Amino acid sequence: MAAIKTPKDVLELIKKENVKIVDLRFMDFPGIWQHCSYPISQIDEDVFTQGLGFDGSSIRGWQAINESDMLIMPVPSTAFIDPFTAVKTLVMICNIQDPVTGADYTRDPRNIARKAEKYLKKLGLADTAYFGPEAEFFIFDDIRYDQRTNEGYYHIDSVEGIWNSGRVENPNLGYKVRHKEGYFPVPPTDSLMDLRSEMAIALENIGIEIEAQHHEVATAGQAEIDMKFSPLVEMADNLLKYKYILKNTAKKFNKTVTFMPKPLFGDNGSGMHVHISLWKGGKNLFAGNGYAGLSQMAMYAIGGILKHAPALLALTSPTTNSYKRLVPGYEAPVNLAYSQRNRSAAVRIPMYSTSPKTKRLEFRCPDPACNPYLAFSAIMMAAVDGIQNKIDPGKPLDKNIYDLPPEEAIKVAKTPGSLRDALNALKKDHAFLLKGDVFTQDVIDTWIDYKMVNEVEAMDLRPHPYEFMLYYDI
């Protein structure tokens, strides 16, 4: 598909592809894609400058009922033909504006990401922040869950789950993936190669370049499909398209995809290692002659990310379930240190290539449950704060953390142990996010309040199934 840049390009594509419906999408505050569909009779060039109205009070974390009217503003360059709809449909991602003032809405996550890019350019430090997230996910065959006054449970099933090695399947062909052995045997043990290929092709068909796809470590269909890095806002847009394509491709095959960080007990969770580099004038500013081939700027960026990591996690690992993955003593990256190889460190410097163009930082704590507009913006702001204030990241952690004597291990700072702890860290440490009006105080306060009330406190109120195993016979 030819590059779409202007409203005229969109209207020509609608005519060329015989599109019948235009689907306009935007991100709510916590991080779920929303949409509204319009017949093409309602779409003309004026829509791109005047927008279309909707009720902002019905969107989580947004307007009050007395100021509910909002405008949805389509972005031409985000257009793609939806591969799943029965009626030919063109999709566009949108920005949100206030209909009275015409200003971009401060709680629109995409607006925050756009402000982050503008702030970087205004500073003159760099002109582009490139991001490359590695979003892991699970492909299950069946999922059931419920929570009521008198019961609460979940039940997951997957044909390749090791727990089905003895199940009557008429016939059971074996080849179940043992715990932590999914990375990455060939078929038939890898039963999902063709499905992942379908997903990868569908992503490329809508303009997202794919570098690789493979099974991941865990049993029961854990997977990863890697997108080529892109600038901040574009990559956040692409991650939403990625989730949409994966979920709906799986649905075609009567399977279900989840980006929940830790759905299975006793095996790896799904992280989203985020690669970041800053560029100016086509030059990678993170490449240099220092540790692991990094520049001094990159070292300061690491310092900023590590300093602000507890607060960052409130945005990059933003669910109570995230902290079932980020547990000390396991493979998860809970050590607030950096290393060129140690995967238990929060920041890693990939060493696959010595080319200056590939030099980058890999922040390993985030997971794919995050709102990417907020997460990528926050990571960039932490890196920039480190550069501005020349924050020293200290010495690298190139030792095996599990072999460190207790007196050394205790000196290595750890990530927060819960979402509550991360939100409290964000409450204390967010001045770096307010620079350039990228995040506003209202956004920070609303995020903390929403997460505390709707997730942390809601979880606190409910008995956990394992508590019955521990305490019922007391």
- Given 12, 17, 45, 55, the catalytic residue: 55
At 30, give phi and psi (nearest 5°): -70, -30
Query: Residue type at 153?
Result: Y
DSSP code per residue over 139-156: EESEEEEEE-SS-EEEEE
- Given 114, 273, 325, 360, the catalytic residue: 273
* Residues whose CB falls within 8 Å of the CB of residue 405, separated by 6 or more in sequence, listed in order: none
Beta bridge partners of 89: 21
Is 273 annotated as catalytic? yes
Cβ–Cβ < 8 Å for 22, 38: yes
- Given 167, 178, 341, 343, the catalytic residue: 343
* Residues whose CB falls within 8 Å of the CB of residue 86, separated by 6 or more in sequence, listed in order: none
- Given 108, 198, 267, 362, the catalytic residue: 362
Pairs from 439-447 (Cβ < 8 Å, separation ≥ 24): 439/112, 439/377, 439/378, 439/381, 440/106, 442/106, 442/107, 443/106, 443/107, 443/112, 446/29, 446/61, 446/107, 447/29, 447/61, 447/314, 447/315, 447/374
What DSSP character marks residue 372?
A: H
Rounded to 5°, the CA angle 126-131-137 comes to 170
- Given 136, 160, 385, 455, the catalytic residue: 136
- Label residue 419 exposed, middle or buried (CB < 10 Å: 0-12, 13-18, 19+): buried
Q: Determine the Cα–Cα distance for residues 200 and 204; give it in Å rounded to an integer.
A: 6
Residue whose pair of structure tokens reads 């996690």 in the numeric block: 313
Residue whose pair of structure tokens reads 């606190």 in the numeric block: 460
For 236, how many CA atoms within 13 A lie in the half-sphere containing its CB? 30
- Given 110, 364, 420, 430, the catalytic residue: 364
Q: Determine the Cα–Cα distance for residues 134 and 273; give it in Å rounded to an integer.
A: 5
Is 55 annotated as catalytic? yes
For the chain, counts of helices (H) and of strands (E): 14, 18
Q: How far is CA 196 from CA 62, 137, 367, in A?
A: 36, 11, 20
Cβ–Cβ < 8 Å for 76, 7: yes
- Given 108, 190, 224, 385, the catalytic residue: 224
At 76, give phi and psi (nearest 5°): -55, -40
Cβ–Cβ < 8 Å for 379, 236: no
Beta bridge partners of 36: 24
- Given 198, 216, 237, 385, the catalytic residue: 216
Is 196 annotated as catalytic? no
Is 224 annotated as catalytic? yes
Task: Select from 448, 101, 274 the least CA-distant residue to 439.
Answer: 448
Is 148 annotated as catalytic? no
- Show which residues are catalytic: 55, 134, 136, 216, 224, 273, 343, 362, 364
